[in-house]
Structure 1
Amino acid sequence: MTDAEPAATRPDPSLAVPDADPADAGEATAAPPVGLWERMREDPQYAPEHLALEAVRRLGPEARAWVEATRTAHPGLDRDGVAQLAKKRFVARARLSGAVSGAAGLPGAVLDIGVLAWTQARMVLHIAAAYGHDPEHPDRATDLLVLQKVHKAAETARLALGVAAGRERAGALFGRGNTPLRQAVLRLSVRLAKMAGIRAAKRVFAKVIPGAAIILGTWANSSATTDLAERTVELYGRRAVSGALNR
């Protein structure tokens, strides 16, 4: 099917995806892996870069598989429809993340923000794959950091990713510094909150308010993820059109 197909003949993007959804393949990708948490805690300054690098490595294949399975199950669904399906699924997941961890109170604040940033990374990679961009390509890590407004330009994002990768290798060889846990957690929360599109102070405060924490957490996660999804669809949709015109 081409993009020129009349909208009336296109299936509703809200249709369910295949029962065997690769995005639901297991809990292993539902939250950042333990090794990544440790890396981010020990090197909080470059936490977003570490998360972006790990997301592309770990979640890129999943995104590719999900798009292929979705297209096989719904051959009439165009790339915009697949992208909207991914957006809908991961905004819902982000909303649930806020509700679940919101109930845990302040101790769960950093965990929630990290899970949210990871969920958003999954969404970005799924949308990229929907538009025909390789979700395993290193450039996706750069895209993640720019889309999530960690860096304003691709050049600075690439530089920071290179530094983070070097620190990852150095850490594996020589170990990390001894940053006090309290200080590291605070810096990590601020960096991840910026990546996830949430103001750290307001986000943490919301979790301390009895009862309102769940509602506020749900709204904040959903709103931030919806905004990111719209930017992502615009970026990759525009690139896909530009690529088609240049052929």
Structure 2
Amino acid sequence: MADPIEVPPAGLWDRMKADPQYAPEHLALEAVRRLGPEARRWADRVRQQRPGIGSDELAKVAVKKFVARARLSGAVSGAAGLPGAIVDVGVLAWTQARMVLHIAAAHGVDPEHPDRATDLLVLQKVHKVAEAARLALGVAAGRERLGGAVSAPLGRVMLRLGVRLAQMAGVRAAKRMFAKVVPGAAVILGTWANSSATSDLARRSIAHYRAAQPGPQPGSPQPGGQPTARA
């Protein structure tokens, strides 16, 4: 049975609603702050429990866990209509960010380093290159400090927020997102779209952090079962 689904914190939702254009950047920044330490503790704990486990094998443990969570989130919120679909893509993007940070930790890459927010935005295809992601993160961080809010109608804000979060979560086809409001089809489509998008992201993330990992070849045990420090 999959672990309980954790939704993005209320404060993050408030920031994303106030600044929907930069919702993915706000989510990435908060994920590294809040989930990075958790990912590090998880990797350390599993290595202590399973001495000699290889980085790829450890990453697969995380992938299995979070793909199951993504599948469950699609089944739970898929039948809740359009507002539920918006919540669902937010939950999915948050679950995926947690998975990516766990994969980074599995490969000895520091999940708490600010560069992981850049990685999230590129791996989740919000931005094509790291430089664009860093620039957008800087803008979002500045807007976060100012605490500004948009003045657009709520319906428009929520639609924009849903589109941006769907882009981050990998649910890019509009018919996928909006079909989730159709009774009956919603649960099936939500479950498939979430698990498929998350599995694709997992493959990209493992390839990325495997290449970034110094030391032994991919899949080989780390000396002493400990991760190699890496920004």
Q: TM-score, normalised by structure 2?
A: 0.89
Give the Cα separation in 2 of the matches to 1:35 and 1:144. Answer: 20
Corresponding residue for 1:244?
A: 215
Whether 1:170 and 2:146 are equivalent positions in the alignment is: yes
Unaligned runs of 5+ in 2: 217-227
The alpha carbon displacement at 1:208 in A equals 2.2
Q: Out of 188, 191, 214, which is 2:161 matched to? A: 188
Give the Cα separation in 2 of the matches to 1:113 and 1:134. Answer: 26
Give the Cα separation in 2 of the matches to 1:133 and 1:234. Answer: 13
Q: Which amino acid aligns with 1:88?
A: K
Residues paired across the two proteins, number? 217
* Local SS of the residue matching 2:215: helix
1:222-246 CA-to-partner distances (Å, cap 9, x unmatched) read 0000000000000000111xx228x
The alpha carbon displacement at 1:103 in A equals 2.3
The alpha carbon displacement at 1:177 in A equals 3.2
Which protein shows a greater Rg?
Answer: 1
Q: Out of 178, 202, 207, which is 1:205 matched to? A: 178
Q: Which amino acid aligns with 1:66?
A: W
Corresponding residue for 2:111?
A: 135
The alpha carbon displacement at 1:67 in A equals 0.7
The alpha carbon displacement at 1:73 in A equals 1.1
1:10-34 CA-to-partner distances (Å, cap 9, x unmatched) read xxxxxxxxxxxxx96x87xx11100
Identity of aligned residues (%): 72
Corresponding residue for 1:14?
A: none
Give the Cα separation in 2 of the matches to 1:105 and 1:69. Answer: 39
Contact map agreement 1:91 1:226 (CA 8 A) in 2: yes
Corresponding residue for 1:9?
A: none
Give the Cα separation in 1 of the matches to 2:121 and 2:65. Answer: 21
Contact map agreement 1:125 1:140 (CA 8 A) in 2: yes
Could you list the structure 1 runs, at least 4 aligned residues long, displaced by more than 6 angstroms after superposition: none
Question: Bigger CA drift: 199-208 or 231-240?
Answer: 199-208
Alignment RMSD: 1.9
Corresponding residue for 1:38?
A: 14
Whether 1:230 and 2:197 are equivalent positions in the alignment is: no
Whether 1:78 and 2:51 are equivalent positions in the alignment is: no
Question: Bigger CA drift: 50-59 or 206-215?
Answer: 206-215
Give the Cα separation in 2 of the matches to 1:152 and 1:198. Answer: 17
1:31-90 CA-to-partner distances (Å, cap 9, x unmatched) read 110010010011000000000000000000110111111111111321111001101110
Contact map agreement 1:61 1:136 (CA 8 A) in 2: yes
Q: Out of 86, 91, 97, which is 1:110 matched to? A: 86
Q: Which amino acid aligns with 1:169?
A: R
Corresponding residue for 2:129?
A: 153
Question: Bigger CA drift: 147-156 or 177-186?
Answer: 177-186
The alpha carbon displacement at 1:114 in A equals 0.1
* Local SS of the residue matching 2:175: helix
Give the Cα separation in 1 of the matches to 2:106 and 2:10. Answer: 29
The alpha carbon displacement at 1:200 in A equals 5.4
Contact map agreement 1:189 1:200 (CA 8 A) in 2: no
Q: Out of 169, 185, 188, which is 1:215 matched to? A: 188
